[in-house]
Structures are given as C-alpha cells and as structure tokens.
Chains A and B, each alone.
Chain A
C-alpha cells in the first residue's frame, strides 16, 4: 500500500516567522510530486509540480525541494503572513499508469498577526 505522510499535522506561527513542512513518500516508482494549498472555503490549488530529483521550485516566499531517492519533499515559507494560513497538501503520483494520486493528510498552518 502506497502511503504519503505529512508532518507536522498542524502548526501555529507568528507573522514573520519562517516555517517548513515535510512530505514523505515511497522512494520507488516515482513520477511526480505535487504541493497544493487549500484555503478555507476555497478549492485546493496547485503550488508546485515537482518531477526531478533535486528539483527546487519557488513562488514568492514559498519554496519546495525534492529528494526522490530518499522519498521526501520540504515546503518552506519565509516570513509567514496571515494570508498563508491554509492546509498544505502533498500528492505523490507513481509511475504505474497515470490515474492514481496519493494524497497526504495535509499540514494545517495558522499564522497569527
């Protein structure tokens, strides 16, 4: 059974703090890893699509790294703002035919002003 683990489950930080989350996934049969941001009352939206070992992606204050050999990805937020408050989901896509996406349970981030 393919499993994706995210930690921590939730995180409370102050505005201006930098933070990071972890996504662990199977280190074999890798095709892609996605990070999604899911704000309350909205749909999850893709932040990053990561496909190669060593990938580093950045969007504003948010960045992500990927290590497919050891099966983990980190998401970093620099100088957290209240609008960063959301659930961050990672999703592992194995190279077994295309339809399957395995989601982690998410990290719920709360940023206090």
Chain B
C-alpha cells in the first residue's frame, strides 16, 4: 500500500533532550512537509522540502531541524532550543496535481 508512515506514535522527552521524529513515504512525491498542531489551531508549517537535499523553513522553524537525504525520508529533529515542543506533529507529502497533500498518522510529543 502506498502511503506515509510516521514513528513513533507517542514520544516523551525530558527537557534539554533532542528527539527525532521519523517520516517515510512511498508515494514517489518530491515535496514533503512537517506541520505542528496545537489545540484550537490550524496546522502550522515547520519545514518543507521540494526536492532531495533541499529544504526551507516554514512559519515556525525555530528550534527544529530537518534533513532530506533520500526522496522517501524527511526526519524532523526537535531540539532543546524549542521552548514549547509538546504538540502533535504531522508529516505530509504533496502530489503535483493541485497540491493535494497526503498525511501520516502523526506523532504526539510530550515534554516531561
């Protein structure tokens, strides 16, 4: 089945630790995205990548980093510099036709 996988589903982090969220897709899409969702808010863009070895900051990139070494993979690192990392994180890839996005199941990150 084609789709997007994210792992882990739940992640707990101590303050001061970096953690990496995994995102893999087998849809052969060039573009991939990371979003953050907080209660009562829309999805906010953290980073996006339009092609391998290239990525751009979104609206709330501070405290996050990404890499795009393979077309299939777009991991997100939440660094200790992110002041309020507790949130739900969604990864997506984008089809060429009218930018329809395909989402993974998400990772819920909690800072203890």
| Residues from chain B with Cβ under 8 Å of A29 in the complex | none
User: Hey, what's the 0/1 contact readout for A35-61 against B, CB within 8 Å counting as 1?
Assistant: 010000111111001010000000000
| Residues from chain A with Cβ under 8 Å of B97 in the complex | 49
Interface residues of A in 1-15 (CB under 8 A from B): 4, 9
What's the minimum C-beta distance from B96 to chain A, rounded to whole angstroms? 9
* A91-B56 in contact (CB<8A): no
Residue of B nearest to A32 (CB): B98
* B104-A93 in contact (CB<8A): no
Bound form: Cα–Cα A93–B99 in Å: 8
* A44-B100 in contact (CB<8A): no
> What's the interface size class on A, roughly?
20 to 34
- Report A's interface with B, CB cutoff 8 A: 4, 9, 31-32, 34, 36, 41-46, 49, 51, 89, 91, 93, 98-106
- Some 20 contacts from A to B, beta carbons below 8 A apart, are A4-B42, A9-B40, A32-B98, A41-B105, A43-B90, A43-B102, A43-B104, A43-B106, A44-B101, A46-B102, A51-B98, A89-B42, A89-B43, A98-B99, A99-B31, A102-B42, A103-B42, A103-B43, A105-B40, A105-B41
